[in-house]
Every structure is written in C-alpha cells, then in structure tokens.
Structure 1
C-alpha cells in the first residue's frame, strides 16, 4: 500500500500555471463549477464570456499551482495576497479542486503544502473558506495547520439550498 502511494506521488507533477495555460484552467474550472456549484463560482463566471476570461487571466498572473498526472491536469489551487494596504499581511487560498479520479492520492495535500511554502515568505497568515460539508478538504486543511475560527452561515445559495462555510486560518511563526 505504501509503495502504491509513493508511486502515485511520483506520477504527479506540481507546477505553477501561467496565462499560457488559460485553456487548461478554464476547462478544470468548468468541471468544478458543474460538479460542485455550491463550492465554486465568481461574479465573473456568472457573467461568462470575456469577463470570465479576464478574471482567469488575472488569477493566472498570480500563484495558481497545478497537479499534472497521467497526461492531464488533475488539480489546481490558488493563492493571493490581500490587495488592501492594511491587510497585506494576510494571504488567501482559493479555487482548490482535484478531479474525482485524482482524489485520495495526496494531491490536494501537495498543492496546499506548495502554496503554504510560497505564502510563508510573503504573509503572516493564510485564510480560506470551505463548505462545512467538505469533510475531506477540512481534514487536509487541518493536517496543514489550519484552524476553524468562525462559521459563515448561509454563505452560498444554489437554487433554494443554502450552505454554510467554515472560515479557517493558518499563521506562521506564532
């Protein structure tokens, strides 16, 4: 079992996406939006078209890590630093998604570790939001030092259903 897990890790390459990867990023975001609309989505994606592509180009000009395995993109995770001058000590993780066939292989864990390694050099703390029901994701975040500090009730509405989100934080050097 351990040999199989190590082999799966070796078969996955983690690297930073760039604007040259726009089509790949758009495809994996489309899958994430389709399969988990309660978790993903932005104002620009609701608008679609050029607004969405402009947002994607902006995101890709920052830090978006990817996991490539078995010839395709199987996971992504993004990071940005708060743009407000008074909040630049805070970073944020967003758009964490691993395709169904890549789950359970430690790919999400590797993406988060990669983002945290980058974040530690530029911020004091990292924040993220996660659906209360996303137990596997919550376990991954906890393993990587995140703690729940609050709940955002009814944070997302899809149709008539609302979803709560946990607010989580990881601090460095505290």
Structure 2
C-alpha cells in the first residue's frame, strides 16, 4: 500500500446506511445503473417509482454499508442472510459499487472486510456472484478470501449481449 492510498483510506468513513440515507443511496444506485447496467438492476428498479423506493427502503432496513469520502457517498455494499431455515448458514453480498473517481483507493476492500466481519458472527460462509468481465471486482473479492466455485453461463442478458457470472464463496474456518 502506498502512502497516498493509506492517507486516502484514512479519509474514508464506513458506516451502516439507514432509511434516512434513502436519497443518497438512490443517487449512487442511479449512477451504478447508468454506468454498468449489465451489472446492476432489480425488477423493482426496472419498474421504477414506488416499487423501486419500497425496495430501497427494505434494503436499507437490512445491512447496507456506505463509504463516505469528503462528505459524499462514494461506495456501497449490502449483505443479507438467507431466509430459508435450511440455508441460514449462508450469507450473501450484493450491490457492491464504488464510484469511478474513488476506485483504486481500497474503498471496495474496506467495504468487503467490514461486511465479512459482520458476517462471520452469524454465518458459516458468504456467497456472491460477479460478471466474469468485472476483473477488478474479482481481484478485490479474491484478496478478501473468496474463491470461484462455478460459472453461471449467459446469466445476464442486456440488449443483445450475454454475460457469464462467476459464483464465489468465502468460508469461515469452523
């Protein structure tokens, strides 16, 4: 880690987002959807309006972390535990996004490490999926102990393009 990145990391605050953060969460999601539509999106966001806002409120009622730098939200990452009692030993990371001008400063690593600290107290393993073309994200996940255990071919269709997803897992020692 360079001195510049260490200073940059020190200037970033990570905290749990709440429904009071709905507007800034909506803004960063809009950026993610606009810049990487093949990666981000949900049926509620496709519908827009009240359905989207209801989904955002539900997400913010669970575990979504925000990274703040210079007073602005520059990154997000969510975590949830499977609802089914047979799979409650599994957690899931979703909606990880760092603004383009904040990348390369360790923000994604910090968000993932914070989620993993939370997750280790309540699950045995954490899963996520990531487009195989998202090489920087894959490197971040690998640095944080995730490994690819499968590939979901043609998992996403955006327009005429098809994208594969890697399925990744991070197991906690038992």
| TM-score, with structure 2 as normaliser | 0.98
Give the whole-Å Cα distance in 2 for the aligned partners of 1:88 and 1:45: 27
- Structure 1's unaligned 5+ residue stretches are none
Report what 1:172 is aligned to: 172
Report what 2:130 is aligned to: 130
- Post-superposition, which runs of at least 4 consecutive aligned residues in structure 1 deviate over 6 A? none
Report what 1:13 is aligned to: 13
Report what 2:88 is aligned to: 88
Give the whole-Å Cα distance in 1 for the aligned partners of 2:2 and 2:85: 46
Paired residue secondary structure (1:133): coil
Report what 2:105 is aligned to: 105
Paired residue secondary structure (1:140): helix
- Structure 2's unaligned 5+ residue stretches are none
Give the whole-Å Cα distance in 2 for the aligned partners of 1:107 and 1:27: 18
Paired residue secondary structure (1:142): helix
Report what 2:145 is aligned to: 145
Q: CA deviation at 1:53?
A: 0.6
Report what 2:27 is aligned to: 27
Paired residue secondary structure (1:4): helix
Q: CA deviation at 1:58?
A: 0.5
Q: CA deviation at 1:173?
A: 1.1
| TM-score, with structure 1 as normaliser | 0.98
Paired residue secondary structure (1:31): helix
Give the whole-Å Cα distance in 2 for the aligned partners of 1:70 and 1:114: 20
Paired residue secondary structure (1:23): helix
Q: CA deviation at 1:85?
A: 1.2
**CA deviation profile, 1:30-85 (whole Å, cap 9, x unmatched):** 00000000100001000101111110000001110110001210000000000111
Give the whole-Å Cα distance in 1 for the aligned partners of 2:85 and 2:110: 30
Give the whole-Å Cα distance in 1 for the aligned partners of 2:5 and 2:31: 26
Report what 2:45 is aligned to: 45
Give the whole-Å Cα distance in 2 for the aligned partners of 1:152 and 1:37: 18
Report what 1:154 is aligned to: 154
Q: CA deviation at 1:4?
A: 1.1
Paired residue secondary structure (1:123): coil
Give the whole-Å Cα distance in 1 for the aligned partners of 2:57 and 2:2: 39
